[in-house]
A and B are shown apart, each in its own frame.
Chain A
Amino acid sequence: MAVYKRSYRAYEGSTTPERRRFLVLSRYAFFGLFDSRPFTAFFVLCFVPFLLAFATIYISHSPSVKLLLGMQFQGPNPLAINNYFFAFFLGAQSWLGFLLITWCGPQLIAADLANSALPLILSRPISRTEYVIGKLTVVATLLTAIMLLPTLILFFLQAGLEGHGWLWSNLWMAGSIIVASIMWIAVVGLIALASSAWLKWRVAASALMLAIFFVGPGLATAVNLTLDTNWGHIFDLGYAVKVIWMGMFRVPFETMHRLRIAELSLPAAWMVVIGFCAASLLLLNRRLKAREVVRG
């Protein structure tokens, strides 16, 4: 072919920098999620406890409001803002976040697999790791917005209102909030993605997520009852997370015992959490391939 006839030119324009390329997947996933009005409504609803907690902290520091509401307490103050308060708030937000991810997480990968889009995506200059990170970013952003940021805002609000060095003497709690949130993001995110990749159908993947957190306690009870042991709790991921969080928020052992969450040791609880995350990663590694296997 004559040189002058060659009109084809390869693309030479600018591309998204390699480091930020996984965010393209996250961006598209976000557009898809917030297209749904019920999802957006539920996301907004997740901030209601934050507003209530905000009001509680404010009231606990405002003698005039307390007087106005006739809140005069004898003995221990039920509105005390301490480690129990933050542990409880984080726990409540974590369950709301879990429900939100149960709703949206499974479709992140299942849709790509069900529509044979994965080979198409992975044939672009994006690796499997970047693909997983891109999807996990969606979960992480949502849970950060629901759990981590509101709890930290409340923490600093309390610090600001309390004054007198409260921040420095309780700074460990900020660390606990951050680590506990990151742990929850990793656990829920990886399980959501793994179940999504394994089952390819978002409804089944959502059901599996629920089953892990709800059948686990049932199985744990069955094991504990049958074998007369406490080791059944290793099947109960929610319980293991609770044990770790209670440790992080320095809830005394006696209280944990009363709440029946001292039947699994802290190292064992960590092993359970790590085990679930590792199993999820293994599953993702097995399932996310740039090829399709069709079975009859």
Chain B
Amino acid sequence: MKALSQFRITQFRKSMSEQPWELWTRQIGTIIRMDLRKNFFSRRGVWIYLLAFAPVALTGLHAAFMLTGHAHDSMEADTAVLAGIFQFFYLRLAIFFGCLGIFTWLFRGEIIERSLHYYFLAPVRREVLLLGKFLGGLLTASSLFAAGFFLTFFLIYWPHGPAGQFFVFHGPGLGQLGAYLGVTVLACIGYGAVFLALSLLLRNPIIPAVIVLGWETFSPVLPSLVQRASVTYYLKQLCPVPIPADGFLALFTVVSEPVSTVAAVLGPIVLAAVVLFFATRIARKLEISYVAE
């Protein structure tokens, strides 16, 4: 029995080493480059810039008010403000809708513009194509939202002068920034995989997207075990500054047992891996049919 499993492991290793990894890497690189150009430099993507950088404009104004003495200069209050901006705006809405736009467009966009067949006629495995497109979308989404949040962070602490610098470089500031940026990337991974799969499965992924939005919004009021199937469940726990539930949802919120940081990080990644695995199966069966959307 042991010999058999050893044999299988050896076979698996052999078959893995025989795969054309270098070719796949090059192909993925090309797909990413093509997609990044489309995502960053198209007129269609302007709204994502607006979503990602809207808080920068706000914190810019806040900084201007502070420097002119028209706003409070409490660092504690500003840390709470930053946490609020991240959780209420970025995590719940901007990243969600940004990923909805970016990741559903990866394949649906090619179908709308009737150019998907060029990819299907290239010597690229559908799995490689899907992974390349996903990584292209992930790089776009995470770099835009991370850049937006980074600037917001900078504009929150910069007007505090030396105290702000001390908080960032010698206090918890830099760690908090790292945590927020990490959560941003994880959110993009989780939502991105879900929306990419939905866009392959359905011609109009907006209805399931509404269900996902509802699920993510109302999952805190569901039993603890059920909450684990939502992306925000893991990400909220990784946010360095907790924000209490607000509004009428606060009345019904079920406080669930916290999971370890490793589990919270792995949660969205595992979720994305499972979803992407199913997405590759759909992609393999995908046929070219450019009917009107």
Contacts and interface: CB of A to CB of B under 8 A. Distances in A.
Contacts of B104: 203, 207
A115 B59 CA distance: 43
Interface residues of B, number: 37
Given A218-B88, A226-B55, A227-B62, A207 B292 contact: no
A202 interface: yes
B117 interface: no
Interface in B26-78: 43, 47, 51, 54-55, 58-59, 61-62, 65, 71-72
Interface stretch (B92-100, B176-184, B271-279): B92-100
B206 interface: yes
A222 B62 CA distance: 11
B71 A215 contact: no
B194 to A, nearest CB: 14
Interface string B98-111: 00110011001000
A121 to B, nearest CB: 15
A219 B90 CA distance: 9
A202 B89 contact: no
B62 A226 contact: yes
B101 to A, nearest CB: 6
Given A99-B210, A111-B292, A115-B292, A222 B55 contact: yes
A207 B101 contact: yes
B164 interface: no
The winner among B51, B206, B247 for most chain A CB atoms within 10 A is B206
A264 interface: no
Nearest to A260: B247
Interface residues of A, number: 28
Nearest to A205: B206
Given A218-B94, A223-B58, 15 more contacts: A102-B210, A103-B207, A203-B204, A204-B105, A207-B97, A207-B104, A207-B209, A211-B97, A218-B88, A219-B93, A221-B88, A222-B54, A222-B84, A226-B81, A228-B71
Interface of B: 43, 47, 51, 54-55, 58-59, 61-62, 65, 71-72, 81, 84-85, 88-89, 92-94, 97, 100-101, 104-105, 108, 112, 204-207, 209-210, 213, 247, 292-293
Interface of A: 99, 102-103, 111, 114-115, 201-204, 206-208, 210-211, 214-215, 218-219, 221-223, 225-228, 260, 295
24 contacts: A102-B206, A103-B206, A114-B292, A114-B293, A201-B293, A202-B204, A202-B293, A203-B104, A203-B204, A206-B206, A207-B97, A215-B97, A218-B88, A218-B89, A219-B89, A222-B85, A225-B85, A226-B58, A226-B81, A227-B62, A227-B65, A227-B71, A228-B71, A228-B72
